[in-house]
Structure 1
Amino acid sequence: MLGFSPKLPVNEKERRWVDEGFARLEAMLGRNRLLEAKVVIPDAKHFPDAFDRSEASVEKLVHRVCEYMHIDRTRIKLEIFPDEAEELRENSLWSIQTNRPAGIYFGHESVMDEDGKAVIALKSSVLKDPIVLVATIAHELGHLILIGDGHLDRSTADHEPMTDLLTVFLGLGIFSANSAARFNHHDHGGGWHSWSMRRLGYLTQGVYGYALAKFAAERGEIKPEWTQHLSTNVRVYFKRSTAWLAKNAK
């Protein structure tokens, strides 16, 4: 009986990059960081604190993400800076924002805080979306692990995509994947409506789908329950990738 070969949501170059990226991260951090990573999902169990966009609530969120990523919170200083262009973007009838940084990591000596801490700055507009906020925090903390701890140099060509892949490796991939493309509806009154799509990060939904499938396969997870928290597109890409990995397992 003829069967159909599962089709990956990534091309061969992207697939190899993810596979090699997992191997690189394993060499840097150890395989146990992958196997023992806590899969963090957007629920009250993992984030029990009320979130009201205040600096105090953001601080609690940062503290929890630090805990999940095994980072000492005292190593960083948190800053929130205004997004001057937010109002202009929301008034556009249709906008696509690509790879615009929602956060900034300052970890080299010239911009270290006076007490020697690395500074992580977050755009105020990111506070409107807790999923994107967690993804941004995880990404910036990833810089602290990879660059701050000397595993990668800023001159490494793919250090930004590798930082996104690290969030998958350490169990925060649901947030990063679901933030890769976020659709928003804006009601301007008087019958006028607009829609915007925000693309966050450096990896596509397809790459995240494959990376999450790789993450599950490496951990021996079959039909993990956490996939129900993935956005529709990412979940489809995950299933296709899982089928491909099962058929092409070495």
Structure 2
Amino acid sequence: MLSTLFGARSFLDRDIEAWHFDVWATLIERYGDNVAVADTALALPTRQYFPPTDATGHAKAEHVFDCVKTIMGVADWPCRLEPQGHRRTGQQVSEFVHISGDEAPNGTFRVEPSGDVVISYAPELLDDPTGLVATFAHELAHYLLASEADLVEDETHELMTDLTVAFVGLGVFGANSCFSFEQHGDAFGQGWRSRSSGYLSPRSWAFALAVFCELRGDEGEVGKYLKPEIEGLRRQAVKYLRRNPTLLQGLRAAA
């Protein structure tokens, strides 16, 4: 009865949801000839997509970077990868308590005056494979969008870049790394550490993954590799989309 009076409840805020669909339509229009959603693989943290390596340090980062470039279909695009300096670890707020959060970006993308494309990453991410892949995917998504002036200049460009990560099949990594919060402590003190990656909220990531899998027509083993809280939201989003099939009609036709 209430849904009849006030309209069906949307999974996201209606304006945000409309933005999601608009961006998907734009990505399909601009890149659909080369990156058809129905044929895009859902990349997972497995040997199929990320073969093991004995490399360490920057060489290991380059190996992962090459894997991400291959998944995104830009393996032959010229790009230099470089590590950033080490970041500050946090702030002490009392004798025994520290609160730590990110104070620098996990990665950056830039085009130098010479035309060289450079992507940087935080070396600490070598201990966080999911975050490393998500960072490389986000920065390479900047590279993918760089030739589209209107998209680059859009005020939602960073959010659009995250959604592009889902569009090219790497949404599992973006979703799993979007936010984490943990407590740590020992005999000498205690503290809390928060870490975020990317710009979309967990709920928006779940929705993006749901849209991707529905357009692809196959969700594969996505649920097996998502954090439980993200997978719970994704399942809700899938139910919502299937209860409202007209929402994806336009995208299905375009894809």
Q: TM-score, normalising length from structure 1?
A: 0.85
Distance in 2, matches of 1:88 and 1:60, equals: 33
1:25 aligned to 27, 32, 35, which one? Answer: 27
**2:11 matches 1:12:** no
- 8 Å contact 2:141–2:165 — kept in the other structure? yes
- 8 Å contact 1:51–1:58 — kept in the other structure? no
Q: What does residue 221 of structure 2 align with? A: 225
Aligned length: 238
- 2:222 maps to a residue whose letter is W
Distance in 2, matches of 1:19 and 1:50, equals: 38
Aligned 1:75-224 pairs, distance under 5 A: 75-86=78-89, 88=91, 93-97=98-102, 100-107=104-111, 111-112=112-113, 114=114, 116-147=115-146, 149-150=147-148, 152-187=150-185, 189-190=186-187, 192-221=189-218, 224=220
CA deviations over 1:37-63 (Å, ceiling 9, x no partner): 111111233212237651111110000
- 8 Å contact 2:145–2:152 — kept in the other structure? no
**2:248 matches 1:246:** no
- 8 Å contact 2:83–2:121 — kept in the other structure? yes
- 1:233 maps to a residue whose letter is E
- SS of structure 2 residue aligned to 1:94: strand
- 8 Å contact 2:109–2:118 — kept in the other structure? yes
Distance 1:9 1:183, change over 3 A: farther
- SS of structure 1 residue aligned to 2:119: strand
Distance 1:92 1:81, change over 3 A: farther
Q: TM-score, normalising length from structure 2?
A: 0.83
After TM superposition, give the deviation of residue 183 of structure 1 in Å: 2.8
Distance in 2, matches of 1:82 and 1:227, equals: 35
Distance in 2, matches of 1:105 and 1:12, equals: 31
Which runs of at least 4 in structure 1 moved beyond 4 Å after TM superposition? Answer: 5-9
After TM superposition, give the deviation of residue 209 of structure 1 in Å: 0.7
- SS of structure 1 residue aligned to 2:162: helix
RMSD: 2.7
After TM superposition, give the deviation of residue 97 of structure 1 in Å: 4.1
Distance in 1, matches of 2:10 and 2:101, equals: 26
Segment drifting more, 40-49 vs 128-137: 40-49
After TM superposition, give the deviation of residue 153 of structure 1 in Å: 4.7
Distance 1:181 1:51, change over 3 A: farther
- SS of structure 1 residue aligned to 2:41: coil
After TM superposition, give the deviation of residue 169 of structure 1 in Å: 0.5
After TM superposition, give the deviation of residue 73 of structure 1 in Å: 4.5
- SS of structure 2 residue aligned to 1:154: helix
| Percent identity of paired positions between Structure 1 and Structure 2 | 27
- 2:88 maps to a residue whose letter is A
Unpaired runs of at least 5, structure 1? none
After TM superposition, give the deviation of residue 87 of structure 1 in Å: 5.4
